[in-house]
Amino acid sequence: MGTDLHAPLGRNRKTGSRRPGVLRLGRIAASLCLFAIGGFSLYTAFRDDGLERKKPPATEQAAAPSSGTPQPAQTPAGQSADGMPRAEPRSGANVEQMVTGDGSVVTKYSPRPRDGSGPVLVDAMKIGQDPRMAALPNETLLEDSAYGRLPIVGPDGRRPMDQYARPSSGARGVRVAIVVSGLGLSQTGTQRAIAELPEEITLAFAASGNSLQRWMQEARRGGHEILLQVPLEPFDYPANDPGPETLLTSKPVARNIENLHKAMGEITNYTGIMNYLGGRFLSDPVAMEPIMRDIGKRGLLFLDDGTSAQSKTADVAKGTELPYAFADLQLDGQLDVNAILKKLDELERIARKNGQAIGIASAFDESVDAIAKWSEEASMRGIEIVGVASLSNDPRTP
């Protein structure tokens, strides 16, 4: 270090030799490395290494499903607006039902072989019945006749009693069905019953009633399962006359079938037939057999009101594979609200003993009031009110 304290630091320091050529070469080498790295990155980004997933051609994306997939139904039920065949969704399926250990019903669908080729429009509205459409019939479950449109089994094997039945939980518990009958005979009584009874109550319309189609639609929109009451010969006929076109034991089979079809053509959307009177007719298996066979062939159930101790309904129904049910109790033999409530409590005791029970009442004001009141409290006691179709003896159910 020098002795001049005022000289700038490093002014007298000996300068080392610089090599500009070496520095310039280093910078060039670094630049070349950067270019090489960038080029390699671009090369690998655009190179086809076989790992890229190629999109299938449009024709492959629209290919038909595999042979293991259930195909659209084959039985045409008309055509769509563009001429495409229209089919029921289950018309191409085999349908099997079985009851599990807990009492629930399991339905299994498996495809049947399909005939022909080309697309088929599946009508999704035919799968069950949307509550908003409940007032309209399933057209595939009807046939035209001289007496109006009569119920039939659909091309896929579906029955009217399945289509129009009120759904139930399927749980193993205490189940009660209550049927209020005679609707259509009194306009005010019919209107009040539909308006005030809970939707779980089954409503039965007399074939000789008035404005039946209108009331049927009101009841279905309200969520009710419905039955059709057909007049049958009582023991004291003609002193006690159920009305026109009564089915009589003395009439030929063809005439009784004709009168049955006249009654059936009055309305649609019912799950079954219920007797209106008929003690004598129900006790005569010869007269009953062709009638019950026709009812069963059309996919309907038969409800016996249980008032005739001599009824042969069970014997005839088993011989014709007809779904049937018996009422356990007449609820309004005494037209008093408290008396009817006691009968409903008795019906509950029967149901708790047997697992289920069916009660019958008429569309009187007292009956409607009592049933509406009792139904409000039933669910809190663990009782499920179901449509009568849920409690029928059905040969299709194992």
Q: How far apart are CA 58 and CA 60, in angstroms?
A: 5
Lowest mean pLDDT among 51-55, 184-188, 251-255, 305-309: 51-55
Q: In whole angstroms, how far apart are CA 27 and each of 20, 22, 36, 295, 325?
A: 11, 9, 14, 101, 101
The verdict on residue 360 lying in a domain is yes
- Show the tokens assigned to 127: 């799968």
pLDDT of residue 56: 43
Do 164 and 261 share a structural domain? yes
Averaged confidence pLDDT in the chain? 81
Q: What is the pLDDT of residue 133?
A: 86
Same domain, residue pair 103 and 165 = no
121-122 sheet: strands from edge to edge: 76-79, 85-87, 121-122
State whether 110 and 160 are in the same domain.
no
Report the percent of the chain where pLDDT is more than 90: 63
Does 142 score more than 80 pLDDT?
yes
Range of weakest confidence among 84-88, 270-274, 365-369: 84-88
Q: Do 101 and 241 belong to one domain?
A: no
Contact 339, 364 (CB under 8 A): no
Domain contains 43: no
Q: Which among 91, 160, 96 has a CA at the least distance from the CA of 123?
A: 91
What total of structural domains would you count in the chain?
Answer: 2
Which phi and psi (to 5°) does residue 396 adopt? Answer: -75, -20
Q: Is residue 197 part of a domain?
A: yes
d(CA 121, CA 123): 6
Whether the model clears a pTM of 0.85, i.e. scores above it, the answer is no
Does some domain include residue 67? no
Does residue 19 sit within a domain? no
Q: CB of 388 within 8 A of CB of 358?
A: yes
Specify if 49 maps to a domain. no
Q: What is the dihedral of CA 189, 192, 197, 203, to 10 degrees?
A: 40
Answer whether residue 33 is part of any domain: no
For residues 245 and 122, membership in a common domain is answered with: no
Q: Say if residue 112 is in the same domain as residue 252.
A: no
Q: Which of 126, 159, 190 is the last residue of a domain?
A: 126
Task: Write the pLDDT tens digit of every residue in 149-183.
Answer: 999 999 999 999 999 999 988 888 999 999 999 99
pLDDT for the residue 76: 45
Residue 17 has pLDDT above 50, yes or no: no
What is the C-alpha end-to-end distance of the chain, expressed in Å?
116
Q: Are residues 217 and 366 in the same domain?
A: yes
Determine the distance from the C-alpha atom of residue 141 to the mean position of all C-alpha atoms in its chain, rounded to a whole number.
14
Quick one: 226 and 94 in the same domain? Answer: no
pLDDT at residue 263 is higher than 80:
yes
Banded pLDDT at 192 (limits 50, 70, 90): very high
319 and 198 housed in the same domain: yes
In the chain, the amino acid numbered 258 is E
Residues 64-122: tens digit of each pLDDT:
444 444 443 444 444 444 454 545 444 455 656 666 655 555 555 555 655 555 554 44
pLDDT at 221 over 60: yes
- Same domain for 186 and 79: no
Radius of gyration of the chain (CA): 39
pLDDT at 168: 86
Query: Is the pLDDT at 235 greater than 90, yes or no?
Result: yes
Q: Which two tokens stand for residue 18?
A: 């610089």
Query: Are residue 316 and residue 197 in the same domain, yes or no?
Result: yes
In 3D space, the residue among 297, 349, 358 whose CA is nearest the CA of residue 323 turns out to be 297
- Residue 15 belongs to some domain of the structure: no
Considering the domain architecture, whether residues 250 and 373 belong to the same structural domain is answered as: yes
The domain in which residue 163 lies consists of: 148-391
Q: What pLDDT does 172 receive? A: 82
Amino acid identity of residue 177, one-letter, is A
Residue 121 is predicted with a pLDDT of 45
Tokens 């492959």 correspond to 60
Residue pair 73/88 in contact (Cβ under 8 Å)? The answer is yes
CATH number at residue 202: 3.20.20.370
Which of 53, 376, 371, 398 shows the shortest CA–CA distance to 181? 371
